[in-house]
Structure 1
Amino acid sequence: MPPAVIPPGAQSRGPRWVDKMTMGALMGGTVGSIMGFIYGTVTIFQYGAGTAGVFRTLGKYMGASGGMFAVFMGIGSVIRHDSEQRALQMWRAQYQQGRPFLHQRQDLLQVRR
């Protein structure tokens, strides 16, 4: 798929933190539900479904695991989004001040002289 064309004069913006959190929660919920399905199936085969039945027991495992993964992945995505924004702000500030981005090690400078 070709990249989106940004019209001249328009400011390009990335996804907002809400979009990142939603994406992380969806990915975490999907992965968690799959893991809950696997773990619930193995548990049902080993110990039986109990009084709730197979589908209700499997649904509980999938829901609990999917919800837990969704929360953690959503929070992690927001934290990562925040760190990317701060890194970009620090990079811009260093660029405007004319400071070098990479500093050479002092011990290497002494050996070279």
Structure 2
Amino acid sequence: MPVPSSAYGQQHGAPSCFDRVKIGFMMGFCVGMASGAIFGGFSALRYGLRGRELFSTVGKTMVQGGGTFGTFMAIGTGIRC
């Protein structure tokens, strides 16, 4: 019976350091997007934005928050490797 390969492509099943950094970035990006949606949405509504301006502002805030937090999570994960 053949032995199934792991999801990370290695024999022992442990993710490489680069895989860990990628996973850390993705986790941080998701958390940053969520916090950007919450804080960006509240601030845009407080400024009185509606419609297209609201979605544009919230989208930009989400991407910025996701990129920032994802980068810091990737750096932190890379330090721990």
TM-score w.r.t. the length of structure 1 is 0.58
What residue number does 2:79 align with?
79
RMSD value, Cα:
2.3
Correspondences of 1:30-109 after superposition (within 5 Å): 30-49=30-49, 53-81=53-81
Question: Which residue type is aligned with residue 35 of structure 2?
Answer: M
Question: Which residue type is aligned with residue 48 of structure 2?
Answer: G
Question: Which residue type is aligned with residue 17 of structure 2?
Answer: W
Unaligned runs of 5+ in 1: 82-113
Identity in percent: 37
Per the alignment, do residues 29 and 5 of structure 1 end up closer, same or farther by CA in structure 2, a change over 3 Å counting?
closer
Q: Could you give the per-residue CA deviations for residues 14-63 of structure 1, whole angstroms, max 9, x where no partner exists?
A: 2111100100000000000000000011101211238x611110001101
What residue number does 1:93 align with?
none
| Alignment size in residue pairs | 73
TM-score w.r.t. the length of structure 2 is 0.79
Q: CA deviation at 1:75?
A: 0.9
Higher RCO (C-alpha 8 Å, min separation 6): 2
Q: CA deviation at 1:5?
A: 9.0
Helix, strand or coil for the counterpart of 2:18? helix
Q: Whole-Å Cα distance in 1 between the matches of residues 47 and 73 of structure 2?
A: 31
Helix, strand or coil for the counterpart of 2:57? helix
